[in-house]
Structure 1
Amino acid sequence: MRKFFNIILVIVIIIGSELFRKVTGIPVTIMDLILFPLTVMLVYITILAIFSDEKPKDSEIMLSKLQMATFSLIFLFVSPLSFWLSIEGFKDPLQLFTGVKGHAHGYTVAYLGAFVGIFCLFLSYKMARLFISKK
């Protein structure tokens, strides 16, 4: 029964995206349907984390210098990538970017860059709170 429900859900999503394209003229890909809700959820979680007053727990503070250095290096490499993705996506939002694994439009690439950038900022904020709470 669950497999049947999943098949029906996929069919409804595909038909819904085609109807949206037909009515508005804006093409929607499967990547749009996956990344947009994830981006909205991450923005919501980030805003909640920034405005929450709870202190980090002792179990969260167990980070070594190697872990902090690794995170910093990853952040330094991923942040320019997210900026570049956002710029490329906003240049021409309806341009179709094709690749080996599929295709996405410019607006999808833009909010993929926003998703990665917000995720980096969220993790940086959490790491800064942990670092400050150690002192």
Structure 2
Amino acid sequence: MSSKPSVLFVCVHNAGRSQMAAGFLTHLAGTAVEVRSAGTAPAETINPAAVDAMAEIGIDIADQTPKVLIPDTVETSTVVITMGCGDTCPVFPGVTYRDWKLDDPAGRDLDAVRSIRDEIGQRIRNLLTELGID
């Protein structure tokens, strides 16, 4: 495993919450953290409201695509952050797990997605502090 931490964000569709979290972490940590995201039942495309909400703060996730969760990605991650995928995420010894209870942005208007985005941003800043990354 790499010497830098690897963080995996998992939600059901990998089209909203996990993509916004990955975008935030990539933006704030740069190359100090390996950032991954996946879904247990990936959508075909990223939620356009999530793309728009992130673009408003200068983070472009428009080129991302939903990816399916595979056990190897979980097993080789330092921290796995789940967001509403319940018991469908495989558990491996030595991997740290956190469950972030966040509203699903699917079907919500841009104002609602902004609120979810802002909560994710704060949680990412806290995670960076926990990981010891400035």
Higher helix share: 1
> Normalising to structure 2: TM-score of the pair?
0.24
Higher relative contact order (CA closer than 8 Å, sequence separation 6+): 2
> Normalising to structure 1: TM-score of the pair?
0.24
Higher strand share: 2
Q: Which has the larger radius of gyration?
A: 1
